[in-house]
Amino acid sequence: MMKIEKRHIIEVLLGVVIGALCTLSVVRYRESRHMLRTRYDSWRKLNLVLDLVDRHYVDTIDRSGLTDAAVVAALGKLDPHSVYLPPVQLSESEEELAGNFEGIGIQFNVPNDTAIVLEVIPGGPSEKVGLLPGDRLLKVDDKVIAGVNFPQDSMVRRMKGPSGTKVTLTVGRSGEEIPFEITRGKIPVHSLDASFMLSDSVGYMRLSKFSRTTFQECHEAAQKLEDKGMKHLIFDIRDNSGGYLDQALLLANDYLYRGDTIVYLEGRHRPKEVYKADGRGTLQKLGLTVLISEASASASEIFAGAVQDNDRGTVIGRRSFGKGLVQEPFFFNDKSGVRLTVARYYTPSGRCIQKPYEIYGNDLLTRYTDGEIFSADSVRLDKSDVHHTRSGRVVYGGGGIMPDIFVPMDTTRASRFYIECNRKATQMRFAAAICDRHGARLRDIDSFPEMDKFLSSMNLKVEFPHFAKQRDGISCTEAEWDESAPYLVPQLHALISRYSKLSEDAFYKYYLPVDNTVAAALAALGAN
């Protein structure tokens, strides 16, 4: 009896153990269905998560949108310049720097709720059919774009298109509506906004970006100015956000002597690369002044840093943006791409001028509120990061190029009348109204003496305040006009002359006399 009971007990215990083992096995099996092997140092987790969502998520998903969001979020953990570009955005960004695009070949502005042609690009499709500066854009094909708050970027998209395709543009001119059928074509995009002589021996060039054609444009323009007697160049790269590295190298090479270091690059997966001038530049003897601002970045800083560290010229303005990172493009077969930071660049003296990532969001506002924009004494330099130019002058790293001569932002023109007119773009609308009235004469002007004569015939002291009162309800006393006129009149001259054949050259030519940074550059030349 005893043996039977013991045997029964053992059988029961075995059953419990076996049952427990089976239950544990089932639990572990259930757990194992959801346990995917991965590690935090492996990229596999991202793929696994996307696959899980694809196979198990409750609703239908947008695979491309989810993938793009994951890529954007991942790159967002890096630096501010490593970015993902969807197909449309990538195409637009590449087109902007490539030096040409497909479209109709006009530049326009929208001072009211109607776009007005500022420039018809020579040789482009619009010039061939007869579009003129001052024309008002009313319709693109059958779509009304005037007076309906039509977005400006949407206007551009409707007018652009593949070469050989047609678009009908209806414009308003002298009270008439005139339709033009335009066959789109390749349009050259210039990075050099203006080039002309400021005096018998001083030339001026303004560069807006470093595109594929920048070196060629600047080199040819400088040669033309030399033919006119230029001995010294004021090269304006204020607000130039950069572009192609190779164009900055070619441009610097034109001015530097053989063996001068232009810049060097180095990254975790990029061995040090040093770029030096080859001595074949044709502008090595030309006097040089470079103008920079807080919005001058990247390739602009490479050029300014090379000029400063080699003591090749004088850098004037305000501390530059502080972008010392190099991006390399990587493309996918769906026409999207990634711009990934692969290295830092260093000026010839060894400065890395990249500012800290954490201050990107409000750096420019901080410079304004801390007074840096208005006083060199308020500029926060990293005095621990000391470097020296070729002649031994001290320069600092830690964020941007500090100019040799600091020029504060000019706030003296901030009269009530001037500020209110700027807020409502009254000056631009006035210039468009003058073009409506005198368009035929304006469009024939192709020399500065002719333009001077036209502008001097206008009584702006009477005409502009009357226009401001009638159109925008902005009144002006005689005292307020006298206070505003030294800055307002050159601005009006610049905007009006833009509608002539002189185009952007005229705009800068007439506006520069009230530009305090250019004034400082000319004063420095006079002092030497």
The string of DSSP letters for 52-89 reads: HHHHH-SS---HHHHHHHHHHHHHTTS-TT-EEE-HHH
Cα 79 to the chain's mean position, in Å? 18
Residue among 102, 90, 84, 99 at smallest CA distance from 157: 102
Amino acid letter at 385?
Answer: D
| DSSP reduced 3-state for 495 | helix
Q: Where are the beta strands (DSSP E) in 153-277?
A: 166-173, 176-183, 185-188, 192-197, 202-207, 232-236, 261-267, 270-276
Q: Report the distance separating Cα 252 and Cα 222, nearest Å.
A: 13
Using the 8-state DSSP alphabet, how is residue 319 labeled?
-
Contact call for residues 152 and 171 (beta carbons, < 8 A): no
Contact call for residues 235 and 291 (beta carbons, < 8 A): yes
So which residues are the catalytic ones?
298, 309, 323
- Which helix (H) or strand (E) element contains residue 309? helix 299-309
Residue among 427, 417, 415 at smallest CA distance from 475: 417
Q: Report the distance separating Cα 513 and Cα 528, nearest Å.
A: 20
Q: Report the distance separating Cα 451 and Cα 73, nearest Å.
A: 54
Query: Would you call 177 exposed, middle or buried from its count of C-beta atoms within 10 A (0-12, 13-18, 19+)?
Result: exposed
Q: Would you tell me the crossing angle of helices 478-497 and 448-456 to the nearest 10 degrees?
A: 150
